């Protein structure tokens, strides 16, 4: 699978929201658990990433074809197989975030672009009022101070998957 195939799937989901709000009831969880689910303990940021890999035909690149809804599990697995990056991020990396600066893995996103200020990620279960449990798929700008590191999948190579930008305003279609 190419990273561009992952981006095609993830970008098409921007704007999808859980319903009702605050329920974690969303199609990604339904697919992951094999039935409709809802509840506070069913956060879906990592489930969204798993779903995108599955839809793009790259399930084998996500957690060796397995399933996890845990940011920490993916992070420790990536470290154990030598696929953990803490600098020089690239489009297609799966960034793990810590918003409380407490060493806890709070959230995850698919890196779409990299700038000197941080990463632009496509994320599930976020919003402008909640970084890590907001109920929507969005494109979010994340300063480096929140990035713990990233899992780097072995995508098939392709030329210039996604360009690097100096500012977020240079990204086509970027709107705040």
pLDDT tens digits, one per residue of 99-132: 999 999 999 999 999 999 999 999 999 999 999 9
Dist. CA 105–CA 108, nearest whole Å:
8
Question: What's the whole-number mean pLDDT along residues 5-12?
Answer: 97
pLDDT tens digits, one per residue of 134-164: 999 999 999 999 999 999 999 998 764 455 5
Q: pTM for the whole thing?
A: 0.89
pLDDT at 174 over 80: no
With contact defined as beta carbons under 8 Å apart, do 148 and 85 qualify? no
Alpha carbons within 13 angstroms on the beta-carbon side of residue 147 total 27
pLDDT tens digits, one per residue of 59-96: 999 999 999 999 999 999 999 999 999 999 999 999 99
pLDDT at 176 over 60: no
């Amino acid at each position: 699978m190419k990273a561009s195939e992952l981006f095609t799937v993830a970008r098409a989901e921007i704007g999808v929201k859980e319903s009702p709000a605050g329920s974690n009831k969303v199609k990604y969880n339904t697919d992951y658990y094999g039935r409709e689910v809802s509840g506070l303990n069913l956060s879906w940021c990592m489930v969204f990433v798993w779903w995108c890999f599955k839809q793009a035909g790259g399930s084998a690149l996500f957690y060796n074809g397995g399933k996890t809804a845990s940011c920490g599990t993916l992070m420790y697995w990536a470290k154990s197989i030598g696929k953990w990056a803490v600098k020089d991020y690239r489009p297609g990396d799966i960034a793990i975030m810590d918003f409380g600066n407490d060493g806890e893995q709070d959230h995850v996103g698919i890196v779409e672009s990299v700038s000197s200020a941080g990463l632009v990620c496509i994320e599930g279960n976020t919003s402008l009022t909640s970084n890590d449990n907001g109920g929507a798929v969005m494109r979010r700008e994340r300063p480096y101070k929140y990035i713990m590191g990233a899992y780097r999948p072995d995508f098939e190579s392709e030329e210039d998957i996604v360009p690097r930008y100096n500012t977020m305003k240079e990204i086509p279609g970027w709107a705040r």
